[in-house]
Structure 1
């Protein structure tokens, strides 16, 4: 009876929308995987702004303005996607909540805080010069929201995996990483935020960010071990999951970037709390740990390139998963550039520049195909509306 009432309310709400049928259907099928586009777009904006070989003067200014424009565009995307997803929960509540029972679609909840983190970082990089302290206040507030969402994603989705969803080793892919990686992305953002705050305030944020790093990275590394076993025993996943092979690079790149940024922020923050010795240790650990994780990421990057070549020979159908080509490479690129700045190794700067160019090429391809797919409506797919998911959800009486 309750299920019938929910469906009736959903039908009435849908019919009351003063929007054309096509827009109603887009809202009904809108899922969090669209926020992967904000992750990749924001990551490219931050990477472009750090391109190591931009000539001082006009060239550097133009590159900075292009990156800033991309960041502003990303804010627009994030607001649009947030409005569409909120509308789905308002007008199609019963269908929207079935996502919690879906073993793949629910993983993309982690994309929402990770997309927001790129906007937070942009306020610190692009917002402070024109807007001053107001940008810092906004960044601080958004970072706290981002931390809350990251913690919720990293706790709730794994718990649903253990209690409600149907998983098995042969069906595992790297999207399992998405809910738990959000916290380490927030940790890297916290390190950037701490660098702009008074030392007394920065200390608390640095400590919290180290906690967020620990909340995420060890768990992500354990998932990579399971993923390696799954690949050895059950080979590569289906072609429609081809881009998921790049997701393994994400927690490694973000983990390295977090250590490097936190290590840079720690000496000043810890000294203000009378722990200058700990700050020096944190700086050294950040440099060594970042370099070690960077090397580990190089192995997964090579594997991702090999898998992509394998899939390309067999055909790779386009879907929203292709955004997995962008954000993992973006954070690994940012980690490479941060390591280059810390070590002053020219070779790392060259590698970082190559990564930025590759990232820009990936983004152009994926963004163009996404725009076409969005215009045609072909990319608005909600697997949680499938009959199997509906039966699994209704059998468990919802969330």
Structure 2
């Protein structure tokens, strides 16, 4: 018995010891991993607005490395395990995480603007991001309607992921527009992306409220999904405020100066309203998380769902505080960034441990194998 325990402990010290073979790390790789680039990316963006800007830049560089690594591994899965990889389109949960890919890329593009001022490269990548985000927002729901099996009692806020990608790209477009030649086109596309996302996300949240009231909380493995509702709300608020900031300069340069004030007003008022709505979801998600913690909360890659929603809500809070010149709102924004940093450290450490052991390489769409 003692020898068996020693052997088990020895296996735990070996990399990917929980996998039958190291190549299984590629075979079992799913888009879920890109949620890590979302969480790391939003932390880098948030820290850029604090005295820890240099730390934020380091996280941005780390995020580029993570995104490149995950892209390489996921491409390898499609090349060498095509039959297994294509099953993702029929899976009602894993397919939702395709939205994480353009959202992770958007945080890198934002960093190009914030830390490098590289508008040319940022614009090129942004158009790529726009196409991926729009494709996710349309193709994944279409597959939900035609080939996947969904049930209200099994619904979670994961449904939001493919839809929210468009509004994340819209925020990036608002940052980019004042610095490029085709500013009006970028601004128009960004408003369109916002409209492709936010109203649909709000519709999903209505159904989600009904599902939670009737069927109660989902399984503990989906606990982090309680925070995902905060994502489209925070990003929607940030998008309106960012686009409202960019619109006056762009409109004035194209003979549309009469509409500048309206764009700013819609940005501020709409941002305040959505921010207030987000406050309700923040409180609800915190209460739900507390309940899960008391009952036991198993770790999985879904824990990265705690990071991006809190991060984007924190950045929206700082933006709102700047526009209103209210110190209390800005203080709240900085407090949320501190919370985000603590959560990121906890989730990152657990992820490193789970990755080393190979426990996190699980593709649910292959379970029938």
How does the TM-score come out when normalised to structure 2?
A: 0.94
> What is the CA deviation profile of residues 222-256 of structure 1, one whole-angstrom value per residue up to 9, with x for unaligned ones?
00000000000000000100000000000000000
Query: Mind listing any 5+ residue stretches in structure 2 that lack a counterpart?
Result: 1-18
Q: Residues 1-399 of structure 1: matches in 2 within 5 Å? A: 22-51=21-50, 60=51, 63-128=52-117, 135-198=118-181, 201-387=182-368
> What is the CA deviation profile of residues 281-340 of structure 1, one whole-angstrom value per residue up to 9, with x for unaligned ones?
011000000000000000000000000001000000000000010000111011001111
Q: CA deviation at 1:273?
A: 1.4
Supply the distance in 1 between the matched residues of 2:32 and 2:260 (Cα, whole angstroms): 38
Query: Mind listing any 5+ residue stretches in structure 1 that lack a counterpart?
Result: 1-19, 52-59, 129-134, 391-399
Supply the distance in 2 between the matched residues of 1:44 and 1:313 (Cα, whole angstroms): 27
Q: Cα RMSD (Å) of the superposition?
A: 1.1
Supply the distance in 1 between the matched residues of 2:234 and 2:21 (Cα, whole angstroms): 39
Supply the distance in 2 between the matched residues of 1:49 and 1:115 (Cα, whole angstroms): 17
State the 4+ residue runs in structure 1 displaced beyond 6 angstroms: none
Q: CA deviation at 1:43?
A: 0.2
Q: CA deviation at 1:64?
A: 1.4
Name the SS for the 1:380 alignment partner: coil
1:55 corresponds to which residue?
Answer: none
Name the SS for the 1:22 alignment partner: coil
- Count matched residues: 351
Supply the distance in 1 between the matched residues of 2:277 and 2:20 (Cα, whole angstroms): 49
Supply the distance in 2 between the matched residues of 1:160 and 1:191 (Cα, whole angstroms): 30
